[in-house]
Amino acid sequence: MFETLKKATLDKIFVLMAEYAADPRKEKIDLGVGVYKDPKGITPVLSSVRKAEQKLLETETTKTYKGVVGNKEFSAAILELTLAGAVDASRVRCVNGNGGTGALMILTQVLGRARPGGRLFLSDPTWPNHLPLTENANLVPHFYPYFDPETRKVDFDAMMQVLDGLTGDDIVLLHGCCHNPTGANLTNEQWDVVAESLKRTGAFPLIDLAYLGFGDGLEEDAYGTRKVVSSVPESMIAFSASKNFGLYRERAGVAMAIAKDSEGAEVVSSQMQNVIRATISQTPDHGAEVVRIILEDPELRAEWEAELKEMRERMKRLRTKLADAIRERSNSADFDFIAEHSGMFSLLGLPEETVGRLKTEDAVYMINDSRINVAGIPEDRVGELADKLLAAVRA
């Protein structure tokens, strides 16, 4: 049986993780995998999460199934957090997903049933896992321009030239905030233009909302998502609690479908439930229930929002420090864009051979396309990192 198989290509992020773990050099720096790290280099369990887990431990009476749609109260809390009434709730249906990726899987599978062989437009570049998710759903990936490698900003004119030419049969995947991998994001005014274009062409928006609160704040980061879904008759959102609640391994997410009316929403809901039942049968609940407890408890919610702000502000501080350190050493503004970007990532625009040299010679690990996880920057070694980056660029 297995002789017919070929070895699958491993995800480059996990390959890099293994290489980093095996590297014995004490001075190594991990800018690869997308997890938040505190000043000690640890991905912490949030205090609000610990308290919610303690409440859960004390009150939970059963581990039985929640049902195919999952934790309804969790979904309701996330719906309010993300949309805050931007659309009529009667048009919305939610199911839990295994993290943001699981939510995307559910939604793309449904879209593949609605438009078999349909075109799904991804930003160039995008999160690498968007591509196999698209192909596994019987959709055909296409790309729209997004990032200008010269300016390190959004190439908005080129982006809109493609989006304005789409049709009602096309699907567009949009990063709701904190674009991965570039860190370059749309302004509110640009979101308005995107929403108007989608309304005019009828193209269907699928929004990946994996970093809500990591950019400029919960309300600020939700602007684009709310603007789009309130402007078009149908849309979908994949929400992840991995980053903003620090629940990476708990796989807590929500797949949201917004239909023209309640009747249509019921049809889409049945399809989402069918996908879940035929794949994982039931979604996990521990992380979902932790988030529900936090969002429904005023004190825990306030504590979580304070912790989220602390993470966000630390990443902004690291961006500024690295950009300043490079400018001081080079007398150049070439890397000032790092401070201008927002969220967890920035795309440095380095050649692959330079990235390889940083890994082998300097023990600085980043993805081959030169995406860095800003939260992985050791704050007490910013100057050292700046020196290594400049030396590698000049070599």
The catalytic position among 37, 52, 127, 265 is 127
Spatial contact of 362 and 388, defined as CB atoms under 8 Å apart: yes
191 is catalytic: no
Neighbouring-strand partners of residue 255:
95, 238
User: In this structure, is the dihedral angle defined by the CA atoms of residues 72, 79, 217 and 347, taken in order, positive or negative?
Assistant: positive
* Tokens found for residue 99: 């993290």
Neighbouring-strand partners of residue 93:
257
Task: Say if residue 11's pLDDT is above 80.
Answer: no
pLDDT of residue 10: 75
What 8-state DSSP symbol labels residue 45? P
Residue identified by tokens 């920035």 is 346
210 is catalytic: yes
φ, ψ of residue 245 to 5 degrees: the values are: -105, 0
Q: What share of the chain is helix, strand, coil (3-state, %, to 5)?
A: 50, 15, 35
Spatial contact of 164 and 144, defined as CB atoms under 8 Å apart: no
Spatial contact of 191 and 226, defined as CB atoms under 8 Å apart: no
For the chain, domains (ranges, CATH) are: 10-44+306-394 (3.90.1150.10), 65-296 (3.40.640.10)
User: In this structure, is the dihedral angle defined by the CA atoms of residues 291, 292, 297 and 301, taken in order, positive or negative?
Assistant: positive
CA separation for the pair 395, 376 (Å, rounded): 24
Of the chain, the percentage scoring pLDDT greater than 70 comes to 100
Q: What is the mean pLDDT of residues 254-278?
A: 97
Contacts of 28 (CB under 8 A, 6+ apart): 20, 363, 364, 365
The catalytic position among 210, 222, 238, 386 is 210
Confidence of residue 227 (pLDDT cuts 50, 70, 90): very high
Q: Comparing 79 with 40, which gets the higher pLDDT? A: 79
The packing angle between helices 156-163 and 188-201, to 10°, is: 20
321 is catalytic: no
The catalytic position among 155, 208, 221, 362 is 208
Task: Say if residue 205's pLDDT is above 80.
Answer: yes
CA separation for the pair 380, 377 (Å, rounded): 9
The catalytic position among 51, 243, 316, 388 is 243
pLDDT of residue 179: 97
Q: pLDDT by residue (tens digit) across 162-181?
A: 999 999 999 999 999 999 99
Helix (H) or strand (E) holding 100: helix 99-114
127 is catalytic: yes
Q: What is the mean pLDDT of residues 376-389?
A: 94
pLDDT of residue 366: 93
Confidence of residue 18 (pLDDT cuts 50, 70, 90): confident
Task: Say if residue 69's pLDDT is above 90.
Answer: yes
Task: Say if residue 9's pLDDT is above 90.
Answer: no
Q: Is 0.85 surpassed by the pTM of this model?
A: yes
